[in-house]
């Protein structure tokens, strides 16, 4: 459980934030941008990742007022951070035999390097108490680098986005003269990859004589002989390919 929010539970929180113009600027930047992104349609969590460093800076600032105090707040946070710096390397090692890591080149060496780096950070964290707040941020940055090296390549090869892309590329290569039939809806990313393969804009048409093949959705599947199918991301369904009369 993340207890870092408890750093803000103090009577003088606003006076502390107001007295430091840069910190107050970070607070406003985080809150206002967070609201804009969070209420936007089709929001993805990754859209607010760039805001995290802003709030980290605020937590470090507030943490500085708690250093040296022997209260419940500091005790809980201290033990939580200690648990994390020990548990994360062990959690990473537990994934050694995960078959999905086969998609990562030299994953054994990369995993060992990551665990060693995190272990060294943990040793320094336990020894250098005055700078623990800075060391913990460094620790999180190393974890993030490990995520980029070990997790993102797996997602790129096995994730849904890669599957949709692969299928769209296949359709574009196989049916070079293709259009959308009438008001058939298709994800714009899928349309991009089909267009990229055919080197033609994937237009709409209600005339079967305008193309050799057409893409249809479930509204038209009973009216034509279906010769192929592929997944569509935005509309959570399947799209079909039919023959045109060109």
DSSP string, 132-161: HHHHHHHHHHHHHHHHHHHTHHHHHHHSHH
Strand order in the sheet with 204-205: 204-205, 178-181, 213-216, 237-243, 226-232
In a structure prediction context, what are the per-residue pLDDT tens digits for the chain, which is 246 residues long?
A: 444 555 666 677 777 888 888 888 888 898 888 888 877 766 666 777 788 888 878 877 777 666 556 666 667 777 888 888 999 999 999 998 888 888 888 999 999 999 999 999 999 888 877 777 788 888 989 999 999 999 888 887 777 778 888 899 999 999 999 999 999 988 888 999 999 999 999 999 999 999 999 999 988 888 999 999 999 877 568 999 999 998
| The pLDDT of residue 3 | 46
| The pLDDT of residue 52 | 81
- Beta strand pairing status for 178-181 and 213-216? parallel
Phi, psi for 152 (deg, rounded to 5): -60, -40
Spell out the domain ranges in the chain. 1-65, 72-158, 160-243
Other beta carbons within 10 angstroms of residue 125's beta carbon come to 22
161-173 per-residue burial string, b: 16 or more CB within 10 A, e: under 16: eeebbebbeebbe
Other beta carbons within 10 angstroms of residue 69's beta carbon come to 10
Cα distances (Å, whole numbers) of residue 116 to 11, 109, 121: 41, 11, 9
- Token digits for 153? 């390549």
| The pLDDT of residue 58 | 83
Q: Give the DSSP H or E segment for 62.
A: helix 52-64
Q: How far apart are CA 226 and CA 229, in angstroms?
A: 8
pTM of the model: 0.57
Q: How far apart are CA 206 and CA 229, in angstroms?
A: 20
Cα distances (Å, whole numbers) of residue 142 to 34, 48, 49, 79, 117: 25, 20, 16, 20, 8
């Amino acid at each position: 459980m993340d207890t870092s929010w408890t750093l803000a539970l103090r009577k003088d929180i606003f006076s502390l934030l107001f007295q430091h113009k840069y910190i107050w600027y970070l607070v406003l930047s985080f809150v206002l941008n967070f609201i804009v992104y969070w209420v936007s349609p089709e929001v993805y969590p990754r859209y607010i990742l760039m805001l995290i460093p802003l709030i980290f800076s605020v937590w470090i600032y507030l943490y500085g007022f708690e250093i040296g105090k022997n209260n419940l707040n500091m005790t809980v946070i201290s033990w939580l951070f200690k648990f994390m710096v020990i548990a994360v390397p062990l959690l990473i090692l537990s994934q050694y035999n995960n078959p999905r890591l086969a998609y990562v080149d030299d994953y054994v060496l990369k995993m060992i390097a990551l665990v060693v780096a995190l272990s060294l950070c943990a040793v320094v964290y336990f020894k250098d108490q005055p700078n623990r707040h800075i060391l913990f941020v460094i620790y999180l940055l190393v974890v993030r680098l490990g995520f980029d090296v070990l997790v993102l390549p797996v997602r790129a090869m096995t994730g849904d986005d890669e599957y949709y892309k692969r299928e769209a590329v296949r359709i574009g290569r196989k049916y070079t003269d293709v259009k959308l039939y009438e008001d058939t809806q298709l994800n714009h990313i899928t349309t991009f990859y089909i267009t990229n393969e055919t080197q033609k804009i994937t237009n709409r048409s209600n005339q079967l004589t305008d193309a050799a093949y057409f893409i249809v959705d479930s509204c038209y599947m009973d009216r034509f002989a279906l010769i192929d199918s592929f997944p569509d991301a935005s509309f959570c369904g399947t799209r079909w390919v039919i023959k045109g009369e060109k």
